[in-house]
């Protein structure tokens, strides 16, 4: 079953002067339930518009959209999802328990004080449990926002910049929480400018550029179209022979080799071994997400 299905989704904003701006230009996406998906792209790519359209906050101009098998306009569907907006504004006079109790009431979830307290502790706000939200830092607000998204054990979590303003230790905590949720079977839809965060949390990536999903697929596939390998040989490896075989020395003492497939790689390795080089390490050369994004942008341009 798909947690999210989008086909031919477009959104065009019109101004009072009649000027039109295409924010989404035919986005297609299908996410199986339980996927952790990361949406990346440059500023103004339409990421937030896409998320808002998914939630029914912004009405699409055309296209089809299904969340958890239904329409996001249906409150019964919205009850099954958790959302954290990019800039969550919280009522200043609330304390974390009163805010979360209210969200639980809105979601129709009968949570008692102990469950609310446990959730507050889970997002690391136990020391601020009696404080008013008005005095919270940005990171604390994000944590409380995440807690509100987690109320009612949602089947789909849509998070827009969840770690924005959170310190590195806090980010690790948030990552653990999200990993736990994914392990529970929750589908995660994450929008983050922090590519390293996305890389660590998500198993599937989509690149949005100028309102179009220009690249989408499993993270490992996107990161590894390069036929390059990093190798380490035991001390005393014959440098000249390796150079003659096409191995490239690196500053770190390792070597790199380009091989189109497994057979080509093994042929070169056999020859290196015949020349007296003993292999002690072999890792595929993975591109980081920054490179994936840059290449996708370049191709789209």
Closer to another protein by Cβ: residue 75 or 217: 75
Burial class (CB in 10 A: 0-12, 13-18, 19+), 183: exposed
Shortest distance, position 50 Cβ to another protein, whole Å: 13
Task: Tell me which residues touch another protein (CB under 8 A).
Answer: 13, 52, 55-59, 75-76, 78-79, 81, 83, 85-91, 93-94, 98, 102-103, 105-108, 145, 148, 158
Separation between Cα atoms, residue 155 and residue 32, nearest integer Å: 12
Closer to another protein by Cβ: residue 23 or 269: 23
Separation between Cα atoms, residue 27 and residue 188, nearest integer Å: 18
Shortest distance, position 267 Cβ to another protein, whole Å: 56
Separation between Cα atoms, residue 54 and residue 208, nearest integer Å: 15
Shortest distance, position 28 Cβ to another protein, whole Å: 21
Shortest distance, position 6 Cβ to another protein, whole Å: 17
Separation between Cα atoms, residue 79 and residue 18, nearest integer Å: 37
Separation between Cα atoms, residue 44 and residue 21, nearest integer Å: 11
Closer to another protein by Cβ: residue 134 or 276: 134
Separation between Cα atoms, residue 83 and residue 148, nearest integer Å: 8
The values of phi and psi at residue 288, to 5°, are -80, 170
Shortest distance, position 149 Cβ to another protein, whole Å: 9
The residue to which tokens 């191709």 are assigned:
299
Closer to another protein by Cβ: residue 95 or 115: 95
Closer to another protein by Cβ: residue 107 or 212: 107
CA distances from 250 to 10, 153, 246, 272 (A): 47, 49, 13, 17
Closer to another protein by Cβ: residue 107 or 268: 107
Please give the helix or strand (H or E) that residue 110 lies within, else none: none
Shortest distance, position 225 Cβ to another protein, whole Å: 36
């Amino acid at each position: 079953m798909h947690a999210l299905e989008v086909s031919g989704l477009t959104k065009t904003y019109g101004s009072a002067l009649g000027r039109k701006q295409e924010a989404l230009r035919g986005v297609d996406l299908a996410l199986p339930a339980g996927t952790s998906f990361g949406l990346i792209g440059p500023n103004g790519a339409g990421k937030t518009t896409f998320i808002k359209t998914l939630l029914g906050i912004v009405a699409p101009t055309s296209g089809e959209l299904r969340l958890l098998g239904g329409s996001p306009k249906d409150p019964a569907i919205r009850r099954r999802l958790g959302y954290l907006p990019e800039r969550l504004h919280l009522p200043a006079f609330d304390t974390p328990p009163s805010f979360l109790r209210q969200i639980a009431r809105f979601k129709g979830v009968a949570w008692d004080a102990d469950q609310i307290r446990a959730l507050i502790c889970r997002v690391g706000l136990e020391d601020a449990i009696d404080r008013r939200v008005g005095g919270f830092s940005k990171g604390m607000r994000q944590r409380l926002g995440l807690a509100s998204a987690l109320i009612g054990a949602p089947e789909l979590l849509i998070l827009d910049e969840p770690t924005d303003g959170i310190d590195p230790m806090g980010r690790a905590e948030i990552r653990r929480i999200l990993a736990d949720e994914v392990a529970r079977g929750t589908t995660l839809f994450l929008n983050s400018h922090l590519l390293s965060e996305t890389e660590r949390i998500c198993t599937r990536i989509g690149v949005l550029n100028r309102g179009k999903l220009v690249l989408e697929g499993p993270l490992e596939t996107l990161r590894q179209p390069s036929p390059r390998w990093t190798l380490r040989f035991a001390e005393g490896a014959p440098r000249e022979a390796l150079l003659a075989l096409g191995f490239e020395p690196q500053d770190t003492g390792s070597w790199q080799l380009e091989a189109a497939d497994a057979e080509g790689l093994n042929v070169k390795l056999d020859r290196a071994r015949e020349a007296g080089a003993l292999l002690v390490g072999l890792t595929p050369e993975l591109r980081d997400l920054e490179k994936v994004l840059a290449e996708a942008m370049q191709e789209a341009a």
